[in-house]
């Protein structure tokens, strides 16, 4: 029975997370040979001020780029082909 823990930055829509859970479950069924009802997905969302990379807080990177959280998520959705 796989239990998958995913940490993501906050702000994605419920529909996006629903689709992600479905995709992870389907992949687990395909690659691990388990039943969908035995796959557990746990998504933990982090505020941008709780995430850093390369010595910089993600929130500070956005501020330096002059973009808002909403603009960041719109950009990410566009890159993923999931415009909101």
In angstroms, rounded to a whole number, what is the distance separating the alpha carbons of residues 83 and 11? 14
In this model, does residue 12 exceed pLDDT 60? yes
In this model, does residue 63 exceed pLDDT 90? yes
In this model, does residue 15 exceed pLDDT 70? yes
pLDDT at 62: 92
pLDDT at 39: 98
pLDDT at 84: 44
Annotated catalytic residue, options 2, 41, 74, 77:
2
In angstroms, rounded to a whole number, what is the distance separating the alpha carbons of residues 64 and 47? 17
In angstroms, rounded to a whole number, what is the distance separating the alpha carbons of residues 79 and 84? 11
> First CA to last CA across the chain, in angstroms?
33
Residue 47 is among the residues annotated as catalytic for this protein: no
pLDDT digits (tens, 9 = 90+) for 24-42: 999 999 999 999 999 999 9
| pTM beyond 0.75 | yes
């Amino acid at each position: 029975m796989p239990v998958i823990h995913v940490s993501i930055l906050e702000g994605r829509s419920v529909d996006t997370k629903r689709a992600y859970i479905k995709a992870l479950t389907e992949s687990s069924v395909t690659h691990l040979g388990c039943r969908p009802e035995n796959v557990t997905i746990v998504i933990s969302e982090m505020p941008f001020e709780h995430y850093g990379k390369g010595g910089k807080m993600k929130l500070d990177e956005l501020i330096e780029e002059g973009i808002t959280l909403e603009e960041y998520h719109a950009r990410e959705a566009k890159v993923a082909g999931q415009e909101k």
